[in-house]
Amino acid sequence: MTLPELVRGAVPSGRHVRRITEDIEGARTGRGFGDVVSDLWYAVTCVVLLAVTAYGTAAVVQEAATAAQPDAVPIGEAGTVLVLVALCGGVLALGTRLGPVALGGGGAGWWLPMPVDRRGLLRPSVLRWPAIALAAGVVAGPLAALSLGLPPAVGPALAWAALGGGAAALVGAVAAVVQQRPADARGLRRRERALAGVGDGVVAAAVIGLAVLVLTGGWPGWHLHRSAWVGLPLLVAAAGLTALADRGVERLDGATLRRLGSLGQRAQVAVLALDLRELGRALTSVEARDRRRSWRLRARGPRSAVAVADLTLLARSPRALVQIAVLALVAVVAARSPVVGTGIALYPVLLLTGFWAASSAAAGARHGELVPALDRSLPLSARQVRVARGAAPLVAAVVWSAVAVATLPGLAAVAPVWAVVLAAAAVRSAYRPPPKLRQPVIASPMGGAPPTTGMTQGVDVALLGTLPTALALYVGVLSPTLLAVQWGVAAAVLAVALAVTGRRPSA
């Protein structure tokens, strides 16, 4: 279709409008065939390098596990299936929260009001999520199989790649089809919360099954053998459902596409800026409910009012509670696995899972940083507010440390210290300053990203406050001197975490 035909009143197709937009963007940025080839070569090089690195890491992990326990029962096939189940649950939960079919930015502002077919406009959005899930499954299948003890052969690796890619792509296509079922705004939100909850539940169940598998030494006699090639029919089914979702995309209303598109862009900006706090806000915005359960918790004074409010928010967040339990279980499994064990390799696992568990309960502190008027309206100083905000993270950290740290041989005495340090780190991370957008952007493969100012605020407290425990894990014993140093360092970093400028909370 030529430009004069459009001027005379002919309505173009959605695909044609999308192509015209792409041509205009390419002309403005000066992109040509050489730039496309260069970008393609860059993408292929990155994928190959990442694959080689992942393969080498998995081979080292397998060799270490075999050397540590040469007579252990292999859990490769059953464990790989559970890893792929967890991946499918994550695809369902994340895809439901961010789409899977969405349109934001200029596309929502310019394309949706046009009297053209939306099928041609939204086809890249329909194909995006199944394609992402397919790529994740193709990489995760062979990598998990190799890491969990299966031999590095080309045939089984291709079979696991087909199984992982087919299962993940099928779940992504199912999410796209379910999204198109007719419903009003409230029913659509309820469906999104239900599907996201199902995805989170599948991930939790897979992690629990993997923990049972590791702790019991595997399931003797259970073998998948060549049944992994069932991934090929799954790929065909995923392609069929994706085509079905493409045909029914006209049923999606503009308000839903704009809302989900804005969430997707918000999450993308948070990932580029390495701002996990903003990413958490974007992913939990779907879970806001219209009705709240009543809790008979009484507050006596402003400090207890803040603590009770944060604890109530934590109790009303099932996803955060599940995260805390799963992270504690991951730490326990890592301590009993032949690869990590109870040496220095366990320390980064404990640090990551503990800080994540405490941060999962710091939603109240993050809300206080986002809206400073909440904290400023209280008759409390900034330090007192942060101490009160630490009640919920402290409860989560106590639960995590009682399961993950107190059960380790000889480390029960440092479990309270870890709980306090992790809670302080979570509060400090919640109140870290936002990125300073006036500073020069950082170049990245996905475009310019804002500077990561304050990204390490919170992690620094968790790292410094637990270094004596890392030394104890390295030498294999927690001496009284190291225990005393651990308590002293924890007191010092606690003072740093609660240090603020001024008497009132600031943005």
Give, in order, the Cα–Cα distances in Å from 328 to each of 9, 331, 459.
Answer: 64, 5, 18
pLDDT of residue 504: 43
Q: Could you tell me how many helices (H) and strands (E) the chain has, helices first?
A: 22, 2
Write the pLDDT tens digit of every residue in 237-278: 999 999 888 888 878 887 778 888 888 778 877 776 666 677
- Tell which wins on pLDDT, 45 or 11: 45
Which among 60-64, 282-286, 391-395 has the top mean pLDDT? 391-395
Whether 178 and 101 have beta carbons less than 8 Å apart is answered as: no
> CA–CA separation, 90 vs 200, rounded Å?
7
Give, in order, the Cα–Cα distances in Å from 197 to each of 171, 173, 187, 190, 398.
Answer: 15, 18, 15, 11, 25
Write the pLDDT tens digit of every residue in 70-123: 444 456 677 888 889 999 998 998 888 887 888 877 777 777 777 777 787 888
Closest CA to 427 of 377, 452, 461: 461
pLDDT of residue 503: 42
> CA–CA separation, 366 vs 432, rounded Å?
9
Predicted TM-score (pTM) above 0.85: no
